Amino acid sequence: MNFIREGIRRFFYQSLINYKGLFAWVDVKSYIFMKVFAPILKIVFFSILSSYAFKTTDISTWIIGNSFLLCTSNAIYGVGNDLILERRFGTLRFIVASPYNKFLIFLGRSIFHVIDSFITVIIGLTVGYLFFELTIPLENLAVFMGVLSVSLYSAMSIGITISSLGLCLREVHMFLNVSEMSLVVLTGASFPISRLPLFLQKVSYFTPMSRGIEAARLLVDSYDGAHLFGLILGEFLIGSLFMIIGYLLFLYVEKLSRKYATLDLY
């Protein structure tokens, strides 16, 4: 029993250390600017834009979509940048060489980012509630939080894939920024997915967060439970699929780097 407790403690401790080490904020002021003010301004911008472009005062759909996407700062620039930063700091070789289970390392890395992005998304939704008449029925609130948690898990999974892919690329910043913008385009957060060209609609179908955003939107109005469950399950499966792809990709890069001794090379 003690062994399990110790394992869990180490898992969370390592997750926290990783979060602090690689996604550290210099001070409280920086955190407030980047994680409170920036999301507020982003939601205000997209809310006014949606209201004007779609000629409607009911912009709950777009507030939810854009609030969910606020997690990209953690998913892309936090988890997605993770291994790239380890390599830059010269610590990647220790991770590879350590006997610790690599999958747990991966999983642990996203825990605090999920918590952190949860707070950011809530800030976005609160702005929507306070200034743009966003209401989530109280009876649906618990399910809504569940949907949000699954969506954030899914977002972090794409971060893990990006992180592993980043090890193979030199142009990391370009890659991270394109990934963030691609999520904006493909998740239907800011416009209906039906507006995308057919090919991109199919890509959107396999993009993490698309289903989560759709499920959260359903909860604002009346909804069909089976459809909602299908969306949540789909989101979870896509998230897990990306998590596995990211992990396998890391194992492949690790194998290559052991063979050619290129782990730390850009």
**Binding positions for another protein, rule: CB under 8 A:** 29-30, 33-34, 37-38, 41-42, 44-45, 48-54, 170-175, 177-178, 181-182, 184-185, 190-191, 195-196
Q: How far is the CB of 46 from another protein (least distance, A)?
A: 9
Rounded to an integer, what distance in angstroms lies between the CA atom of residue 174 and that of residue 177?
5
Nearer to another protein, 51 or 149 (CB): 51
CA 188 to chain centroid, in Å, comes to 15
Q: How far is the CB of 30 from another protein (least distance, A)?
A: 5
CA torsion sign, 149 to 152 to 158 to 160? negative
- The structure tokens 């407790």 sit at 5
Q: How far is the CB of 191 from another protein (least distance, A)?
A: 4
Nearer to another protein, 6 or 171 (CB): 171
Q: How far is the CB of 50 from another protein (least distance, A)?
A: 7
Nearer to another protein, 134 or 143 (CB): 134
Give the single-character DSSP code of 189.
S
Nearer to another protein, 83 or 189 (CB): 189
Nearer to another protein, 175 or 236 (CB): 175
Q: How far is the CB of 55 from another protein (least distance, A)?
A: 9
| Nearest alpha-carbon partner for 188 in 76, 65, 44 | 65
Provide the token pair at 220. Answer: 């604002």
Quickly count: other Cβ atoms within 10 Å of residue 192's Cβ.
10
DSSP string, 6-39: HHHHHHHHHHHHHHHHHS--SSHHHHHIIIIIHH
